């Protein structure tokens, strides 16, 4: 047994879980594995407030949700104490501090994809549909786009399912 494994009384191995801070939003599929529940159970946990910070980052008009749970909510659920995560700056903490480029607060598309745990086509689609705004900075074709930091924060605020139970079953109502 290596140093990150420890025996569990029910015959399973348990691990010291560390979710990377650089990826604050965890895909629902990963949460299903981490807490050993199916998708419906995860949605119910969100509705009941046991996974308090969930976001639907899907593109407008898509039928499939892109549900992400904040890492602190997952850790809170897994802890035996179930201490509530402080709400202060939790949503703004998903994004890194903005980078000033030509006097505009920006975040690169690649970094946003990493923070959202999503692929670059989803970030590009969110830009194309107006959900995210580009900073008015000229870029070349082969460079990750500069996204307006305020638009990324506003997107998260619109897409937060916290205390928006109807938005979980009907993702377009959260938009």
Average pLDDT of span 32-42: 93
Residue 60 lies in a domain: yes
Number of domains in the chain: 2
* pLDDT higher than 90, residue 129: yes
The whole-number pLDDT of residue 170 equals: 42
Pair 85, 166 in one domain:
yes
Pair 128, 106 in one domain:
yes
Residue 26 lies in a domain: yes
How far apart (Å, rounded) are the C-alpha atoms in residues 160 and 138?
31
Average pLDDT of span 145-153: 94
3-class SS string, 126-137: HHHCCCCCECCC
Q: Domain limits at 106?
A: 95-156
Pair 104, 150 in one domain:
yes
Pair 61, 77 in one domain:
yes
Q: What pTM, to 2 d.p., does this model score?
A: 0.78
* pLDDT higher than 50, residue 6: no
Residue 11 lies in a domain: no
State pLDDT tens for residues 58-117.
Answer: 999 888 889 999 998 898 898 865 555 556 568 878 998 898 888 899 999 999 999 999
Give me the phi and psi of 167, to 5 degrees please.
Answer: -70, -20
Pair 27, 112 in one domain:
no
pLDDT band at 174 (very low <50, low <70, confident <90, very high): very low
* pLDDT higher than 80, residue 25: yes
Pair 118, 163 in one domain:
no
Among 16-20, 54-58, 138-142, the range scoring the smallest mean pLDDT is: 16-20
Pair 23, 82 in one domain:
yes
Pick from 22, 67, 16, 48: which is nearest to 174 by CA? 67
Residue 146 lies in a domain: yes
């Amino acid at each position: 047994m290596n140093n990150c494994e420890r025996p569990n009384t029910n015959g399973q191995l348990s691990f010291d879980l560390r979710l990377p801070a650089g990826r604050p939003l965890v895909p629902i599929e990963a949460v299903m594995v981490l807490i050993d529940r199916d998708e419906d159970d995860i949605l119910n946990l969100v509705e009941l407030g046991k996974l308090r910070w969930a976001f639907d980052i899907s593109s407008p008009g898509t039928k499939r949700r892109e549900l992400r749970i904040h890492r602190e909510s997952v850790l809170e659920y897994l802890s035996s104490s179930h201490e509530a995560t402080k709400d202060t700056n939790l949503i703004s903490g998903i994004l890194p501090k903005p980078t000033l480029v030509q006097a505009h607060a920006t975040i690169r598309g690649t970094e946003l994809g990493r923070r959202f745990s999503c692929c670059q086509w989803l970030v590009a689609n969110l830009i194309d549909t107006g959900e995210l705004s580009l900073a008015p900075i000229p870029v070349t074709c082969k460079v990750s786009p500069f996204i307006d930091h305020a638009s990324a924060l506003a997107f998260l605020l619109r897409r937060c399912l916290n205390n928006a139970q109807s938005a979980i079953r009907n993702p377009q109502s959260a938009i």
